[in-house]
C-alpha cells in the first residue's frame, strides 16, 4: 500500500492539534516509583549472551523473547492502530533479497536504552515469522544515554561493531546530540564494512513530550515529526540509508488506544513490555511494505 508521507503527517497533526498536555504526570493513572521502574509482568524468556566491553556499555544477543511470549503480550496489550509507515527498500536490496530468498541476516542495533527496549521487544522473531526463509539473528550494543557522539569515540565502532560483520545496522534512539555525529558513524561503518546496509529511525518514548500534543511532540529533540526528523531524513538520503519515522505511528497508536500513554510505560521515560510491542509493530510494518516503495 502506497502512503503519502506528507498527507500522513498532516493527518497526524490535525488529529492531535486540539489536545494540549504540558505534563503527562498531571493526569496519569500510573504511579511510578521514585527510583527505578515498575516491575515487568513478562520478563524476557530467552537467554542470550551478554558482554561488557567497557564500563557503561553492553553488548547482547537478540531476540530475547520467544514468539509464544511475544504473542501473549500482544494479545493482552491495549489495542491501537497506526498508519503503516512507507517502506524504504531503495538502500536495502541485500536485506530484501535475504529476507525473501533465504540466507543469514545479522542485524546489529546500537544506541541508547530506547534502542535496547526496542530490540528487547523481540521484533526480529516476528520478522522471521514474516520471512520464514531467512535465518535472522541480532546483536545490540548500547549505553545509557548513548548517541553517535559516544560511539564515534575510542574507536568503538572499529573495535565492537565492524568485527561482528553485521549485514544490516539500525541506528536510533533519543540520545543523538547532533545529526552530524550520525553521519560520521555511518562513514566509519562504511569504511570497515563496505557492503553494510543501514537504516536510521527517529525516536519514541524517552522524554516528557506528550504524544497527545502534536506541537509539544514536534519540539522533542528526537522527534520524527519535527526538525530532527527532517535532518535525519536528509542524512539518510545523502548517505544512502533507509529512513523510518517511528514517532508519528507510535503517537498515533497511543492516541487511538484511548488510554493514558503511561499505560505503556514502565517509568517516566521507558516503555514497558506492552510499549515495546508498539515499536515492534511499527518495525514489522516497515519491513513488510512491498518492495519498490
- Could you state, in chain order, the average pLDDT of each consecutive group of 10 residues for the chain (293 residues)? 43 37 80 94 96 97 98 98 95 98 98 96 98 98 96 97 98 94 98 97 88 91 92 97 97 96 95 98 97 72
Instruction: Give the whole-angstrom CA distance, residue 210 versus residue 223.
Output: 11
Domains and CATH numbers, the chain: 41-287 (3.40.50.1110)
Buried-exposed string 173-198: b where 16+ CB fall within 10 A, e elsewhere: bbbbeebebbbbbbebbeeebeebbb
Helices and strands in the chain, H and E counts:
12, 7
At residue 270, the pLDDT reads 95
Q: Kind and range of the H or E element at 181?
A: helix 179-192
Residue whose cell numbers read 512507507? 86
Sheet with 168-171, strands from edge to edge, namely: 50-51, 57-62, 134-143, 103-111, 168-171, 197-201, 242-244
Instruction: Give the whole-angstrom CA distance, residue 87 versus residue 77.
Output: 26
* Beta carbons within 8 Å of 239's beta carbon, 6+ residues apart: 183, 186, 187, 198
At residue 206, the pLDDT reads 83
- Look at the pTM and tell me if it is higher than 0.85: yes
Residue of 281, 261, 288 lying closest to 122 (CA atoms): 281
Instruction: Give the whole-angstrom CA distance, residue 114 versus residue 206.
Output: 7
At residue 293, the pLDDT reads 59
Determine the 3-state secondary structure of 136 from DSSP: strand
At residue 23, the pLDDT reads 78
Q: Are 117 and 205 in contact (CB under 8 A)?
A: yes
Amino acid at each position: 500500500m502506497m502512503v503519502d508521507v506528507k498527507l500522513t503527517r498532516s493527518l497526524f497533526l490535525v488529529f492531535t492539534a486540539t489536545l494540549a498536555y504540558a505534563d503527562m504526570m498531571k493526569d496519569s493513572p500510573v504511579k511510578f516509583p521514585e527510583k527505578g521502574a515498575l516491575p515487568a509482568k513478562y520478563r524476557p524468556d530467552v537467554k542470550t549472551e551478554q558482554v561488557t566491553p567497557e564500563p557503561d556499555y553492553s553488548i547482547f544477543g537478540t531476540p530475547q523473547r520467544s514468539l509464544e511470549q511475544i504473542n501473549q503480550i500482544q494479545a493482552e496489550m491495549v489495542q491501537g492502530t497506526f498508519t503503516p509507515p512507507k517502506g524504504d527498500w531503495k538502500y536495502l536490496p541485500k536485506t530484501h533479497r535475504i529476507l525473501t530468498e533465504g540466507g543469514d541476516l545479522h542485524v546489529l542495533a546500537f544506541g541508547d536504552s530506547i534502542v535496547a527496549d526496542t530490540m528487547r521487544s523481540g521484533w526480529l522473531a516476528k520478522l522471521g515469522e514474516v520471512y520464514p526463509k531467512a535465518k535472522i539473528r541480532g546483536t545490540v550494543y548500547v549505553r545509557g544515554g548513548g548517541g553517535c557522539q559516544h560511539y564515534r569515540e575510542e574507536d568503538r565502532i572499529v573495535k565492537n561493531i565492524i568485527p561482528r560483520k553485521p549485514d544490516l545496522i539500525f541506528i536510533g534512539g533519543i540520545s543523538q546530540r547532533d545529526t552530524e555525529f550520525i553521519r560520521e558513524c555511518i562513514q566509519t561503518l562504511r569504511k570497515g564494512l563496505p557492503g553494510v546496509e543501514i537504516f536510521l529511525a527517529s525516536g519514541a518514548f524517552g522524554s516528557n513530550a506528550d504524544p497527545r500534543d502534536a506541537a509539544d511532540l514536534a519540539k522533542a529533540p528526537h522527534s520524527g515529526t519535527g526538525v530532527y526528523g527532517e535532518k535525519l531524513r536528509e542524512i539518510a538520503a545523502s548517505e544512502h540509508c533507509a529512513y523510518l519515522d517511528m514517532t508519528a505511528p507510535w503517537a498515533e497508536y497511543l492516541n487511538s488506544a484511548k488510554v493514558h500513554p503511561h499505560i505503556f510505560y514502565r517509568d517516566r521515560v521507558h516503555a514497558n513490555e506492552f510499549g515495546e510491542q508498539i515499536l515492534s509493530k511499527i518495525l514489522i510494518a516497515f519491513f513488510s511494505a512491498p518492495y519498490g516503495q
